Structure 1
């Protein structure tokens, strides 16, 4: 499949959270192909280092636990002013209502929602100084479908959509665009743990397009929204779900 190249992204400083594997790794690779200056944060050192070795000098890895807000702030200070922020990091561990405790709630919200706000807070002043920027937050189709055993994850992802709208309003005066990409069911090694071949076929059958979504499909939308081609796009959701919903 051909990849659209956006010349304006060359040399732009891009930060991606959760970039070591899955959709995040595809995002890192896609921006590296654009010849952007790519920085990504993750807690999985081995996978991340392997990605850096494969992609080379355009890519820098930072070991950072996004639930540690002091570490998050310090990492962004090391990186400097940012042109593009992609808030991708999340974790969709399953749980039932009866298993939720106050501490588990707080930990899951920290993993899936809280860092999104503080990452935007960290980059906004630099983007203003640069004359603008683009923030792309990753949502999820899961809460729109009301899928089971994902209540906290879905709560966080619904919150990201609201946060996107609010921040687009607040930051728009500084020419900072804030959008949300909502993937459907994306085939990654992690997601493959949950689905049998019959489940995989059921996903495709329920979509309007006869295609299995892969991380590069999501990355294509994200690079578009980061680029000057999307200069008039902000405050909205962009679906990459093959028409599942």
Structure 2
């Protein structure tokens, strides 16, 4: 059990998280379960998601609702949202976390790859919001937290389609914050730095690259997934009631 900050207004809130079964998403799922929220999460990784549900039920006595769905499929998004609402009530907190940070060369990108990358990293965030927003309005308002990335701010060149999508997340966040503010719906974004998830450690992190990144941070420790939960909980809670259209950078102080 982790030592999360507690935001009393999140107790019993209906929360839906995309990509909530592993990495940063698993930390977010745990963070909201620790609040006593009614949590549902969407993922496609069965083994990791089932293991997370069992772990959280043991630790907190509460089991989140795991919904398997392909977020590149608009109909699957609608079905997943309907299932979450049926189980937990109208969603008042939506966290769009799912992403695919695949490295790729410019010459290797074709239209199919571009469309797949944008669908996972940007498009699903819009259609998730579209699917929940009317219910959120009916509930009197809510909070949407979209995950972007510092990669596009740092001119990282190894994943240009991904960085384009993550830049687009900021535009989406700001545009919808302006549109939905009158309905008491806040829309913000979080931009993590290099967080040491198992995926990062398996695929890209080396002792040298991690040491170099940490040296550039003002805070001299490797960033962990659980460190992204606090900012997300804050933005989802009424403690952030005057905050919308913002991007919270959580990168240890590189930017």
Task: Calculate the TM-score normalised by the size of structure 2.
Answer: 0.94
Q: Quick check: 2:188–2:244 contact (8 Å CA) kept in 1?
A: yes
Q: Deviations over 1:134-192 (max 9, x none)?
A: 00000000011111221000000000000000000000010000000000110101111
Superposed counterparts of 1:11-22, under 5 Å: 11-22=12-23
For the aligned residues, what is the CA RMSD? 1.0
Secondary structure of 1:131 counterpart: coil
Superposed counterparts of 1:183-222, under 5 Å: 183-192=192-201, 193-222=203-232
Q: How many residues matched?
A: 245
CA distance in 2, matches of 1:200, 1:152: 23
Q: Quick check: 1:25–1:51 contact (8 Å CA) kept in 2?
A: yes
CA distance in 2, matches of 1:58, 1:15: 14
What's 1:67 paired with?
72
Superposed counterparts of 1:22-171, under 5 Å: 22-56=23-57, 57-80=62-85, 81-171=90-180
| Deviation, structure 1 residue 79 | 1.6
Q: Is it true that 1:233 corresponds to 2:243 in the alignment? A: yes
CA distance in 2, matches of 1:84, 1:2: 21
CA distance in 1, matches of 2:226, 2:129: 24
Q: Quick check: 1:11–1:35 contact (8 Å CA) kept in 2?
A: yes
Of 187-196 and 153-162, more deviation after overlay is shown by: 187-196
Unaligned runs of 5+ residues in structure 2 are: none
Detail structure 1 runs of 4+ shifted over 2 Å in the superposition. Answer: none
Q: Quick check: 1:36–1:58 contact (8 Å CA) kept in 2?
A: no
Secondary structure of 1:74 counterpart: helix
| Deviation, structure 1 residue 49 | 0.5
Task: Calculate the TM-score normalised by the size of structure 1.
Answer: 0.98
Secondary structure of 2:235 counterpart: helix
CA distance in 2, matches of 1:78, 1:27: 20
| Deviation, structure 1 residue 212 | 1.3
| Deviation, structure 1 residue 2 | 4.1
CA distance in 1, matches of 2:108, 2:16: 34
Secondary structure of 2:153 counterpart: helix
CA distance in 1, matches of 2:168, 2:206: 30
Q: Quick check: 2:54–2:63 contact (8 Å CA) kept in 1?
A: no
Secondary structure of 1:177 counterpart: strand
CA distance in 2, matches of 1:236, 1:30: 21
Secondary structure of 2:152 counterpart: helix
